[in-house]
A and B are shown apart, each in its own frame.
Chain A
Amino acid sequence: MGANEGKRAINRVVVVGGGTAGWMTAAGLASMLGQTGLEITLVESEAIGVVGVGEATLPHIKNFNDTIGVNEAEFMAATSATFKLGIEFVNWGRKGDSYIHPFGEFGLPNAGVAFHQYWRKFAGRPGVGALDEYSLPVIASRMGKFQPPSEDPRSVMSTYRYAYQFDALQYAPFMRTHAEARGVTRMEGKVVDVTLEPESGRVSALTMDDGRVVEGDLFVDCTGFFGLLIEKTLSAGYDDWSEWLPADRAVAVPCESDGPLLPYTRATAHEAGWSWRIPLQHRTGNGHVYSSQFLSDDAACDTLLDGLEGERLADPRFLRFVTGKRRKLWSRNVVAIGLSGGFLEPLESTSIYLIQEGITKLLELFPANQDCDVEVAEYNRWMDLQFERVRDFLILHYHATERDDSDFWNHMRTMNVPDSLAERLELFTAHGHVSAYDHGLFLVPSWVAVLIGQRVLPSSFDARVSGQADAEVLRHLAGLKGHMEKAAGSMEDHAAYLTRNNMMRAAA
C-alpha cells in the first residue's frame, strides 16, 4: 500500500469569491491541473461587489498569462488594457520631484561595476542629467512610446520588460471565460454557512443561500477583506504592519481620459498619502490612499477630485483596510489568496503579483491528500517572505524623503524602520552598494531607482570607478544617453501600437 493511500485525496477545489483573485486562481488551477481530473468550483454572488484590485501590474503577469495560455491581443482588447513600462513617482523625495521606477536597467555595467556608480561620481555635472535619463523604458515612457523588448541580449532594446494596466472589472470576466472554457464550474449565490469536520477542524462544505451544499477537499478563500473562511471561520490571525505603513483608507474614482495614452502609472505624494493615476484605453483610474490618523475622508476626497484630469465618471468609492497579512495564509485546508490573505497598498502595483505568487506556489505544492502539513508550512514560509520583502520596499518610499511639510511626512521620515531596511540603507548611503537577495520581488535596479529618485545619494561611490579616466567615463555617459534616446525615439507611439496590433477594445 502506497504512503498516500487511505488518506482523503484532494480532487475537489472550491474557490470562494469571484473577483480578480478568485478567477485568476480558478483559471490557473484549471489550466495547470484541469487535465488531471481536478474538479474546480467557484462560488460567487453578483450581489456582492468586487473591490477590483490591481489595475496596474508588474511584468511577472505576462509569465502568468503565457503559462495559462492567454492570447495577449485578446486580453488587451477584452480588458481595455494599456502597456506599462514603469511607475512615475511625483513629490516623494521633495515636492516638485519626479522620477520613474522603470521595469528595466539603468545604463550598462562596466568592468563589473554597476552603472549608477559611474553616474554617482559625475552627478550634478553639466550634461550628465538624472539617473533615469539612462534608462530606455524611462525615456520611452516620457515620449509615450512602446515596443516589446528585443530577445537579443546584445541589443539595448533588451534592457527592459513591460506590464499592463487594465480594467480590473473587465479582467475578472475575461479570466472567468478562460477558466470556464477549461472546466471550472461557477455557482451563483451567497455562502450562508460553513461546515467544519468535527475532529480535524477542516472545512468540509459550504451552504449556499438557496440551500445547496458545496463540498470540497481544498478551499481557496478569495472573499477579499472579509476573509470568510481564513478569518471568520478559522481565525488565522493577522499581522498588523500599520506601524510602518499607516495608510488605512483609499478613495477611488474613474474619470475620462484626457491627453495621450501614457505607458506608465503615476503615484503622486500628497499631505498624508498618495494618489494613483492609471491610464486605460477608455478611462483613467484614480485613487487616493491616505492615513485617517492624519487626514479626514472629506479632505482626501477633495484632493482626489481636484486632481482629476478628465470628467468624473462615477461617484467616489471609499475603502478601509489594515496593512499587513494573515499569520497563516494557508490554514488547515483553506488557502487565502488576494485581499483575504493580506493587504499592501498598491504603491508598487504588487497586489496582482502577490495573487500570482500565491497561485504559483499552491500549484507547486499542490497536496495529494489532507496529510500535507509540510506543504502548508513551506507555502506559508515562502509567502511570508514575499510579503515582508514587498513591505520593506514600500516603507522605503515613505521613509526616504526630505518632506517636512506635514505631520504625516515628519512621522514617516523619522520613524524606526525594520532592521532589514535600516541595514540596506546604511550600505547604500556609504558607497552606493545594494544588498541583493535571491528570493524577493524587487531587484537591484528597483532599489536604486527609488533610493536615488528620492534623493538618497550615496556619500561616495564604488572605489573602482576612480580607476577610469573622467573624460572617458563622461564620453561613455553621453554616448549611452544619446543611444538610448535614439532607440526610444524609434519606438512606435503607444496608442498607435495598440491600434495596429488589434489590441483596442471595440466601442460598446
Chain B
Amino acid sequence: MSTERILVRGSPLQAGVIGAYLASRWLGPGRSLELAVGTEDKATGSFATRPSVHRFHAEMGLPIDQLFARCGGSPILAAETRTADGAAVQLPFSAFGVPRGGVEFHQYWLRASRLSQQADLTEFSLSLALQNAAHKPPLAQLEQLPVDFGIAFDRSAYGNALLSFAKAGGASVIEASSEQAQSASLVIQCSSDAQAPKWQGQELNIAQQSGISGLEWHALSSATRRFANLAAPLSDCVPEQAEWTRLALAQRERMADMQELLNIEDPLASTRPALQRKAEVFAACGRIPTEDYEVFTPPEWLAALWARGVRPRRSDRMAERLTDSQLLDWLDQLRGQIASLTRQVQAA
C-alpha cells in the first residue's frame, strides 16, 4: 500500500494551524504529513481567533486553557475592524440584549426608542461591555457567562505551540526550499492574494482573508476542518474536492459580503445579492435574512449594518405585545443588569 503524503506550505502560524489539526484528525497508518515552514511571515503581535476556536481545539485534543496560558491568551468578545473611511467597528459575537417571545432584542429597542430617548443599542451588549472593559475576565469566569468568545494569542507563540503539537502528533517539519518540499500526494498552501479557494488534483489552496480580526484564523481553521471532514483517499476524491470547493467559495462570498458592507458608500445599493437583501430587509423591518454557510453571526451583521447607518423603518409587530411601561421597565432592568454584571466581573 502506498503512503499518502500531504505537504503543507505556509508561514509558521499557517503550517501550525493546519498541521496540528491534520496531525490529530487525519494522520494515521499509511499517511505522512510534512510541514514546509517558510520564513516569509512578517506579521507579529496578536493573532485573533473566533468563538469556534474552542471546538477546533477540543477536536484536536489540545486544551484551550493550556494554550491560553502558554501563548499570552486574551479573550475576544467581538471582532474588530474599520470601515473604508477609518471608523472603528466592533462586531459582537453574542446577541444584543436577550430575545423575548421569539423576537430579537433590537426590535424591542427600536420600539422603545420611538417612545422615549434610549441609550445606544451597543449599551445593551454584554459582549461589547466586556470587550471594552479595562480588564478582561479570566477564562473560567467567561465560560460561566452567556457570551461567546474567541481568543487572541501571541502570533509567534501560538504558531510555535501548534507546530510543536503537530510534530508530537507525527508531522515532520522540513525546509521549504528542500527537494522534499516540491511535491506530494496533496499540497496544501495558503495564498495571501485574492486567489479563489480551490481543491483540484494535487493542490488545495486556502485563500487568506484579512481586514476583520479573526478572519485569517477562520479561513485556515474552517478550510482544514472541512478537508478532514471530507476524508477520502487522495487518489480518489473528485466529489469531495468539488464539495470542499463549493463550501469554501460559499463562505468566501459571505466574507466578501461583510467586507463590502463595511466599505461601500450605500449598502442598499450593493450589487452583491445576499448583501443587498440583508440591507433591504433590515431597513424594511429590522430582520436580517441569513444564507447557507454564514461566517458571521446575526449580532455581527446587526452591528455592521448599524455602524454603516442602515436603520429599520419600523420594529417587528410582535414587539408590540408588551405595554409601553412593561417595555421601558424591561429595558431599564436589562441595561442595569449588564452594567452590574460588568462591574462584578471587573471587581472579581
Taking beta carbons and an 8 Å cutoff, which residues of A are in contact with B? 2-4, 32-33, 35-36, 38, 67, 111-113, 363-368, 372, 374-375, 378, 381-382, 423, 426-427, 430-431, 433, 435, 437-439, 460, 462-464, 466-467
Contact = CB atoms under 8 A, between A and B. Distances in A.
B240 to A, nearest CB: 6
B289 A433 contact: no
Contact of B321 (A35, A111, A378, A462): A35
A111 B229 CA distance: 11
A112 B292 contact: no
B229 A112 contact: yes
Contacts of A36: 317-318, 320-321
Contacts of A2: 114, 313
A467 B102 contact: no
Nearest to B61: A111
8 contacts: A32-B102, A36-B320, A366-B318, A430-B236, A430-B237, A430-B239, A439-B292, A463-B233
B243 interface: yes
Interface stretch (B12-20, B136-144, B202-210, B276-284): B276-284
B45 interface: no
B106 interface: no
Contacts of A35: 320-321
- Sort chain B's interface into a size bin: 35 or more
Contacts of B291: 438-439
Contacts of B237: 430-431
B290 A433 contact: no
A47 to B, nearest CB: 34
Interface string B268-288: 000000000100110111010
B59 interface: yes
Contacts of A431: 230-232, 237, 239-240
B82 interface: no
Contacts of A438: 290-294
B275 to A, nearest CB: 14
B231 A463 contact: yes
Contacts of A423: 239, 242-243
A382 B288 CA distance: 12
Interface string B240-270: 1011000000000000000000000000000
Contact of A3 (B25, B242, B280, B313): B313
B296 interface: no
Given A4-B313, A365-B287, A464-B26, A437 B292 contact: yes
Nearest to B287: A364
B317 A33 contact: yes
B231 A427 contact: no
Given A365-B287, A430-B239, A435-B243, 13 more contacts: A2-B114, A3-B314, A32-B102, A112-B228, A374-B281, A423-B239, A426-B239, A430-B238, A431-B237, A438-B293, A460-B233, A463-B232, A463-B233
Contacts of B146: none
A375 B285 contact: yes
B86 interface: no
Given A4-B314, A430-B239, A435-B243, A372 B228 contact: no
A33 B317 CA distance: 7
A4 B25 CA distance: 55
Contacts of A4: 313-314
Contacts of A364: 287, 316
Nearest to A439: B292
B185 to A, nearest CB: 12
Nearest to A427: B239
Nearest to A373: B284
A382 B280 CA distance: 15
Q: Pick the 6 closest A-B CB pairs, nearest first.
A: A467-B28, A374-B284, A463-B231, A3-B313, A36-B320, A431-B232
A158 to B, nearest CB: 19
A152 B217 CA distance: 33
A427 B242 CA distance: 9
B213 to A, nearest CB: 24
Contacts of A462: 231-232
Contacts of A32: 102, 318, 321
B27 to A, nearest CB: 8
B321 A460 contact: no
Contacts of B318: 32-33, 36, 363, 366
Contacts of B316: 364, 366
A467 B29 CA distance: 7
Nearest to B231: A463
B230 A375 contact: no
A366 B284 CA distance: 11
A439 B274 CA distance: 14
A505 to B, nearest CB: 31
Given A36-B317, A460-B232, A467-B28, A433 B240 contact: yes
A378 B214 CA distance: 30
Contacts of B25: 111-112, 464
A62 to B, nearest CB: 15
A471 to B, nearest CB: 15
Contacts of A33: 317-318, 321
A77 to B, nearest CB: 27
Contacts of A430: 232, 236-240
Contacts of B239: 423, 426-427, 430-431, 433
